[in-house]
Amino acid sequence: MSLSQIDFSKVLNDDQVYDLMMANYDQLGKDWIVHQWNWMNAIYKAFKDHYKYLIVISLIEKTLQFYDTMNIQLSFDQFYSKNYLQIDKFSITELCNKLNLPKETVRRKVLELEELGVLKRQKKKILIDRSIFPQVKPERQISVTSKYIYLVSQILIKEKILSKNHDTKKIETVMKKNFSICWRWFYRLQIPLVIGYHDMFEDLTTYHIWGTVAMNQAFNYKRDNIKTNFYNLIPDYKTFNESLLDGKGASAGVSAMSISDMTNIPRATVIRKCKFLLKNDYLELNMKKHYILGPMNRTKVLPYQKKVFRHKAKFLRKIINLLTIS
């Protein structure tokens, strides 16, 4: 499409998307938590190790950045037409700086990826063997992300900010057609976001477990509101999260066994990580001795989430604008 064909009056900006998300959080908050929980489950499932996956997608994102710089656009089918992906040379220091991880940790994980056959060196070439872990092919994640984008777009239409309606299938189609750029945007959202939570919770397994408790409580809160018709107005970000931290949805917490079943993280690991979360007030126990959100989320998690939503608004704005001009 030529530049003269674009109606710039219909192009969204970041603030429009951010303000809408914050004002309509009840309609979007639970689904965003589910979106991220599915993403964390996919990360863990690949190697039973969040950090190995993070290193792999960081290297893929670097390759996608090169494609973008050279104006190379690949569809989903083109990008995955081969079982391997050649990547640019990289250094341990470069990965450490990008992921904010200790050098020894990154070096060890890279060696483990080489031992698994995921990273391979052929003379001067460095390859990612995608046949080793099919989870790197984000077929399901595109579907999950498209559903969330659809929800956001419906509220934009309702608020008369967006006029053109796109169903989930159309969103998937556009994302797959423009895969190399769309998935670079996705990784540029997810990698810093996850690293921020790593810094907060000290490791990603702990964050994954905390996120499972948060998702459970958000579901219960939404379910209880539907049953009681507690309000007719849509609560904004602050009202929704303050209600969660005030104990709404906390009557039915979640056990260590349930967390393990939902995430495939070993139960012993869940119990050990929950001790840290309890000690630092990220979680507490309800009357049934099940895990619920604790008071520390008010002072540490919520302020960081606002920064996350700024990045999320940028990602959503790019995808929705792409849909508008496609």
What pLDDT does residue 246 have?
75
pLDDT digits (tens, 9 = 90+) for 94-152: 999 999 999 999 999 999 999 999 999 888 889 999 888 777 789 999 999 999 999 99
Averaged pLDDT of the chain = 89
* Alpha carbon of residue 25 to chain centroid: 17
Phi, psi angle pair for 290, to nearest 5°: -105, 155
Most confidently predicted of 7-16, 242-251, 297-306: 297-306
Q: State both tokens at 294.
A: 């604790």
Q: Is 13 helix (H, G, I), strand (E, B) or coil?
A: coil
How far apart CA 129 and CA 59 sit, in angstroms, is 12
pLDDT band of 231, cuts 50, 70, 90: very low
Q: State both tokens at 224.
A: 């209880």
Buried b / exposed e over 9-48, threshold 16 CB at 10 Å, is eeebebebbbebbbbbbbbbbbbbbbbbbbbbbbbbebbe
Average pLDDT value for residue range 21-45: 89
Q: State both tokens at 74.
A: 């690949």
The CA-atom distances, in angstroms, between 18 and each of 25, 152, 177, 251 are 10, 10, 26, 31
pLDDT digits (tens, 9 = 90+) for 47-97: 999 999 999 999 999 999 999 999 999 999 999 999 899 998 899 999 999
Q: Is the pLDDT of residue 11 over 50?
A: yes
pLDDT band of 235, cuts 50, 70, 90: low
The CA-atom distances, in angstroms, between 170 and each of 54, 85, 320 are 29, 27, 11
Sheet holding 125-129, edge to edge: 84-87, 125-129, 119-122
How far apart CA 277 and CA 287 sit, in angstroms, is 18
Residues 163 and 11: beta-carbon distance below 8 Å: no
Q: State both tokens at 2.
A: 């030529």
What's the one-letter identity of residue 176?
A: K
Helix (H) or strand (E) holding 244: helix 237-245
CA angle 150, 135, 314 (to 5 degrees): 35
Buried b / exposed e over 71-86, threshold 16 CB at 10 Å, is eeebebeebbeeeebe
Partner residues linked to 285 by β-bridges: 291
pLDDT digits (tens, 9 = 90+) for 184-217: 999 999 999 999 999 999 999 999 999 999 999 8
* CB hemisphere CA count around 15 (13 angstroms): 0
